[in-house]
């Protein structure tokens, strides 16, 4: 097609030679609108899935840390009682028990802070499990989309979106098929050195 027959801008009607950005901007707006309409629920599902698994992991990790600390506290209280009875045949001084309880509270606060600080990496890990796959260009739905616009009947209806996360022939899988999660008991997270366990 030569320049004399290039269509004028569909938005502002200026000649093609002007190279205005009206159509490009309109396309960007249309993409944003279509994405919001067709993908918003999918993105929300992914966010909810990642959030739930990350929270579950952090709570489990904290439970492991705090359980171990409470066990150590119980041993400490037992040692305090044994020492008081062995040397004085008396109950321990209340201040000793108060100090031990305060140490336990500080430790639990530190354990919670340690667990919460892992959120960024845990979230990235679970987002990394989400699998977005696009259809092949050779698929019939891509080569011959069932849109009435192609038959000159105006804009067709949007493709049906199913609750399974499948949009047209674009699939969204969370967890990579068989779902796995990191073990609870691990210390720091250098890189993505997770240890997996069957669920």
* E strand or H helix that includes residue 88: helix 22-88
Kindly state the tokens that stand for 43. 């993105």
pLDDT number for residue 90: 86
Q: What pLDDT, in 10s, does the model give residues 148-190?
A: 655 655 444 444 433 333 334 445 666 654 344 443 333 333 3
Q: Answer yes or no: is 65 within a domain.
A: yes
Q: Answer yes or no: is 119 within a domain.
A: yes
Q: What pLDDT, in 10s, does the model give residues 28-64?
A: 999 999 999 999 999 999 999 999 999 999 999 999 9
Maximum separation of any 2 CA atoms in the chain, in Å: 108
Domain count of the chain? 1
Please report the sign of the dihedral spanned by the C-alpha atoms of residue 35, residue 40, residue 45, residue 50.
positive
Q: Which residue has the higher pLDDT, 5 or 67?
A: 67
Q: Answer yes or no: is 152 within a domain.
A: no
pLDDT class for 81, splitting at 50, 70, 90?
Answer: confident
Would you say residue 65 has pLDDT above 80? yes
Q: Three-state DSSP class for 6?
A: coil
For the chain, report the end-to-end CA distance as a whole number of angstroms: 61
pLDDT number for residue 86: 85
Distance, C-alpha 131 to centroid of its chain: 12
Q: Answer yes or no: is 192 within a domain.
A: yes
How many Cβ atoms are within 10 Å of 12's Cβ, its own excluded? Answer: 11
Q: Answer yes or no: is 109 within a domain.
A: yes
Would you say residue 117 has pLDDT above 90? yes
Q: What pLDDT, in 10s, does the model give residues 128-143?
A: 999 988 999 999 889 8
**How much is the CA Rg of the chain, to the nearest whole Å?**
30
Q: Answer yes or no: is 155 within a domain.
A: no
The pLDDT mean for the chain works out to: 80
pLDDT class for 14, splitting at 50, 70, 90?
Answer: very high
Would you say residue 108 has pLDDT above 50? yes
Structural domain containing residue 40: 21-139+160-197
How many Cβ atoms are within 10 Å of 49's Cβ, its own excluded? Answer: 18
Look at 2-11, 61-70, 162-171 and tell me which has the smallest mean pLDDT. 162-171
d(CA 99, CA 122): 35
Q: Answer yes or no: is 150 within a domain.
A: no
């Amino acid at each position: 097609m030569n320049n004399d027959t290039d269509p004028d801008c569909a938005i502002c009607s200026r000649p093609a030679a002007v190279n205005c950005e009206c159509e490009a901007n309109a396309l960007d707006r249309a993409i944003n609108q279509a994405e919001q309409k067709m993908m918003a629920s999918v993105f929300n599902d992914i966010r909810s899935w990642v959030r739930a698994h990350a929270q579950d992991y952090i709570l489990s990790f904290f439970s492991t840390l705090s359980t171990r600390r409470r066990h150590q506290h119980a041993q400490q209280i037992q040692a305090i009682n044994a020492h008081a009875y062995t040397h004085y045949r008396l109950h321990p001084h209340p201040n000793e028990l108060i100090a031990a309880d305060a140490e336990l509270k500080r430790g639990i606060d530190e354990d919670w802070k340690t667990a919460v600080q892992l959120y960024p990496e845990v979230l990235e890990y679970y987002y990394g499990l989400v699998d977005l796959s696009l259809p092949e260009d050779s698929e019939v739905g891509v080569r011959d989309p069932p849109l009435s616009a192609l038959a000159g009947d105006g804009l067709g209806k949007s493709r049906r979106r199913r609750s399974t996360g499948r949009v047209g022939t674009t699939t969204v899988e969370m967890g990579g098929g068989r779902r796995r999660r990191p073990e609870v008991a691990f210390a720091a997270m250098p890189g993505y050195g997770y240890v997996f366990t069957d669920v």
